């Protein structure tokens, strides 16, 4: 070991050196402490991660488009981003990343903290980032078909969440293929999420406006086999699905759109009359986007029943996929007792393909996660999913207080365990194909 010198000159040298380093360090920190500004750093973060929802008609309660709008909420923003409550994103990026991912980096979160702490300085307006509105060119032409809710729905002003079914007849006598689908809520303040399905029996028409999961509905009573259990989904910020040419989804003849709608609680009554915009493909597309849905029937540890005051996990296993397929997107679905969700596939060669992992399920955000590139599942692959449900009083979202037993059902006091994937038949090169355009 090298001994420390006791020579006085060396000691002085050492102090000078230490002092120089300390001063340099101090100076550097003083430099770093010049706070971030709105135009310098903050606006770019907000434009990339927030304004798709936080703009007029974007679904969030207030816009974040101007310096003033952001600055007056600076500490609120610092708080919700630090808690990772905003932007809403729930899939674990260490398991798989997605095309439509909005996750702030630790640095971005720190910038928002420092900016709020410094009193939200504006900075130099010349550094202004390009506005969202400008970036979002009017890309889509007029839709070929707009299907409107049959009548306006009065959302009661009783401070309770509303889960409703609406039936929107398309009145199309021919089978068609669609390249684009866009759900347009008319009451963006209260519309929280929507799931669109298709029925060709017309037997569900009396259900228009009824409470989802109600035992009196034809939906629950008749056990109708829907033509599509999942055709499209919407949450705030979603601009619709628009496939590249050659891809499309089927719209069967005489289909009714079955809209499963969730409205946020409201203290005053309000109306909604949402619509669905549809763009047709010029001809039958070469590649048809189809749903691959695993539901409670595929649970291996039946029965799907969650006793009160228990935390239970269920496991699901798909049949082997019959041909090579390419996945476009994946969407887990549970209700308020859901806590965790994980899905992966096992190929016949024993490879594991990680699909999605959510450790903090949030029922309010029924997101569809878009793969960055198509994900090939070779023929014979099996998809596995695991979900944990917390039916104790410790679950702050538990809809029953005290907890009550829950089983399968569309109402929110019951539970669901679905894994909804969308796929096309595999083609060479799909592994590098990115299907989703920038919104
Ligand atoms: C996908 C749409 C979406 C994105 C992206 C998004 N928000 Fe939100 N935000 C919402 C909605 C909707 C609400 C209303 C609360 C709710 O429904 O959970 C909200 C609420 C908020 C609130 C109020 C929270 C409260 O407790 O009332 C703040 C603050 C906020 N957002 C900031 C942000 C910031 C900052 C970003 C970007 C870093 C962002 N949001 C990104 C949709 C979004």
Interatomic CA distance for residues 279 and 134, integer angstroms = 24
Tokens of 136: 């979002």
The residue whose C-alpha atom lies closest to atom 1 belonging to ligand 1 is 237
CA 438 to each of CA 42, 87, 99, 280, 435: distance values in angstroms, whole numbers, following the listed order: 21, 17, 9, 20, 10
Closest to 332 measured CA to CA, from 302, 366, 292, 289: 366
The DSSP code sequence of 73-85 is: THHHHHHHHHTT-
Distance 351 CA to ligand 1 centre (A): 38
Which of 54, 58, 103, 193 maximizes ligand 1 atoms within 8 Å of its Cβ, making it the mutation to test the pocket? 54
**Model pLDDT, residue 75:** 97
Distance 51 CA to ligand 1 centre (A): 9
The residue whose C-alpha atom lies closest to atom 31 belonging to ligand 1 is 86
**Model pLDDT, residue 385:** 98
To the nearest 5 percent, what fractions of the chain are helix, strand and coil? 20, 30, 50
Q: Where does 289-439 sit in CATH, by number?
A: 2.60.120.230
Phi, psi of 293 (to 5 degrees): -115, 130
The residue whose C-alpha atom lies closest to atom 3 belonging to ligand 1 is 53
**Model pLDDT, residue 220:** 80
Collapse the DSSP code of 40 into the 3-class scheme (helix H, G, I; strand E, B; otherwise coil) and give the result.
helix
Distance 171 CA to ligand 1 centre (A): 37
pLDDT tens over the chain, length 439 residues = 344 444 544 444 544 444 444 444 444 444 456 899 999 999 999 998 999 889 877 778 899 999 999 999 999 999 999 999 999 999 999 999 999 888 899 999 999 999 999 999 999 877 555 545 444 435 678 899 999 999 999 999 999 889 999 999 999 999 999 999 999 998 888 888 899 999 999 999 999 999 988 888 888 888 888 999 999 999 877 778 888 889 999 999 999 999 999 998 899 999 999 999 999 999 999 999 999 999 999 999 999 999 999 999 999 999 999 999 999 999 999 999 999 999 999 999 999 999 999 999 988 888 889 999 999 999 999 999 999 999 999 999 999 999 999 999 877 788 999 999 999 999 999 999 988 765 4
Gap between the terminal Cα atoms of the chain: 62
Tally Cβ neighbours within 10 Å of residue 244: 14
pTM of the predicted model, to two decimals?
A: 0.81
Interatomic CA distance for residues 177 and 290, integer angstroms = 12
Tokens of 106: 């630790």
Q: Can you give the residue ranges of every domain in the chain?
A: 38-135, 138-284, 289-439
Q: Which fold has domain 138-284?
A: Jelly Rolls (2.60.120)
Interatomic CA distance for residues 331 and 192, integer angstroms = 16
Burial of 37 (0-12, 13-18, 19+ CB in 10 A): buried
Q: Do domains 138-284 and 289-439 have the same CATH topology?
A: yes
> Taking CB atoms and a 6 Å cutoff, what residues make up the pocket around ligand 1?
49-50, 52-54, 59-61, 73, 76-77, 80-81, 86-88, 102, 236-237, 364
Interatomic CA distance for residues 200 and 210, integer angstroms = 19
């Amino acid at each position: 070991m090298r001994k420390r010198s006791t020579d006085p000159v060396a000691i002085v040298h050492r102090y000078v050196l230490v002092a120089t380093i300390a001063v340099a360090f101090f100076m550097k920190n003083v430099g770093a402490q010049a706070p971030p500004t709105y135009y310098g750093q903050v606006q770019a973060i907000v434009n990339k991660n927030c304004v798709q929802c936080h703009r007029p008609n974007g679904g969030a309660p207030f816009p974040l488009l101007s310096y003033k709008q952001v600055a007056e909420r600076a500490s609120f923003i610092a708080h919700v981003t630090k808690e990772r409550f905003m932007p809403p994103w729930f899939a674990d990026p260490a398991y798989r990343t997605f095309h439509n991912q909005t996750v702030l980096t630790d640095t971005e979160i720190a910038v928002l903290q420092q900016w709020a702490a410094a009193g939200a300085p504006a900075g130099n307006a010349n550094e202004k980032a390009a506005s969202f509105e400008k970036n979002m060119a009017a890309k889509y032409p007029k839709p070929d078909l707009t299907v409107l809710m049959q009548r306006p729905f009065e959302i009661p002003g009783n401070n309770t969440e509303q889960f409703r079914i609406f039936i929107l007849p398309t009145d199309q006598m021919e089978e068609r293929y669609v390249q684009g689908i866009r759900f347009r809520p008319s009451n963006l303040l209260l519309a929280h999420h929507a799931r669109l399905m298709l029925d060709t029996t017309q037997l569900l028409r009396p259900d228009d406006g009824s409470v989802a999961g109600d035992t009196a509905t034809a939906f629950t009573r008749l056990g109708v086999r829907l033509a599509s259990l999942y055709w499209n989904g919407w949450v705030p910020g979603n601009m619709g699905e628009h496939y590249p040419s050659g891809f499309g989804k089927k719209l069967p003849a005489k289909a009714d759109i079955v809209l499963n709608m969730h409205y946020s609680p409201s203290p005053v009554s309000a109306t909604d009359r949402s619509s669905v915009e549809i763009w047709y493909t010029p001809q039958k597309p070469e590649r048809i986007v189809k749903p691959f849905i695993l539901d409670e029937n595929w649970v291996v540890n039946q029965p799907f029943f969650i006793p009160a005051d228990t935390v239970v996990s269920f496991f699901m296993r798909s049949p082997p996929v019959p041909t090579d397929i390419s996945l476009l997107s994946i969407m887990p679905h549970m209700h308020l007792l859901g806590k965790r969700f994980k899905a992966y596939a096992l190929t016949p060669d024993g490879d594991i393909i990680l699909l999605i992992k959510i450790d903090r399920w949030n029922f309010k955000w029924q997101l569809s996660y878009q793969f960055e590139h198509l994900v090939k599942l070779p023929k014979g692959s099996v998809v596995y999913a695991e979900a944990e449900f917390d039916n104790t009083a410790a679950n702050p979202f538990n809809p029953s207080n005290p907890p009550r037993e829950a089983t399968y059902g569309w109402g929110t006091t019951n539970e669901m365990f679905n894994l909804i994937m969308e796929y096309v038949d595999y083609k060479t090169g799909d592994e590098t194909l990115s299907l989703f355009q920038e919104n």
